[in-house]
Amino acid sequence: AQRVTQPEKLLSVFKGAPVELKCNYSYSGSPELFWYVQYSRQRLQLLLRHISRESIKGFTADLNKGETSFHLKKPFAQEEDSAMYYCALSRSYSSASKIIFGSGTRLSIRP
Amino acid sequence: ETGVTQSPTHLIKTRGQQVTLRCSSQSGHNTVSWYQQALGQGPQFIFQYYREEENGRGNFPPRFSGLQFPNYSSELNVNALELDDSALYLCASSIDEETQYFGPGTRLLVL
């Protein structure tokens, strides 16, 4: 079964502290992994995708096929990082296909 | 500004009624996907349309149907509404296999 699991509903860290949002997936094949973010009163938007291997707003995520994980990391949290984060997967190289989302983690950055 | 708009923003219906939700994609986006997001959950894929043809469907009953028009607009129709259909409905548009851009959503409440 295709599934994305985000074990933490809420993660609260202090400004300047490291952040790690966990994501594990179950998929038979080679999926493409994404992180989506939704800031307060804004629409859902793509943060990063694993094939891009880029850092967006200081966030990075590495696909670990052995552990079937795609954790999102940032070394120093900023207050503007507070948002809802969704890990998601789709068929490889086909971002317009069905996207399976996790249930989301709310990240709260304390000043 | 992604250019994807949805209407209405909020809607209240009663059980058994029918509802039509609308989405206007960015110009040139030939693919539109619809998602249902229940409270506290991630978005769930309903179906996708590519060049006015259904191009994939999630685990939703036939009373969920859609249309895509040549002018880049689309509709989600739900018949025989049930209480569990209360959710935020999102549409997302893209060009072929490129990044999906989400609309702000329509919040449906079924009483």
Pairing of the two strands B73-78 and B19-24: antiparallel
Q: Is the pLDDT of residue B80 over 50?
A: yes
Mean pLDDT of B21-35: 91
Mean pLDDT of B72-90: 96
Minimum CA–CA partner of A42 in chain B: B104
Q: Is the pLDDT of residue A77 over 90?
A: yes
**CB-CB contact of B72 with B55 (8 Å):** no
**Residue A47, amino acid:** L
Size of interface A-B (CB pairs under 8 A): 60
Mean pLDDT of B13-25: 97
A96 contacts chain B (CB < 8 A): yes
Instruction: Give B66-79 pLDDT, tens digit per residue.
Output: 999 998 899 999 99
Minimal Cβ distance to B43: which of A9, A97, A101: A101
Average pLDDT, chain A: 90
Q: CA of A46, closest CA in chain B: separation in Å?
A: 8
Instruction: Give B46-68 pLDDT, tens digit per residue.
Output: 999 988 998 888 899 999 999 99
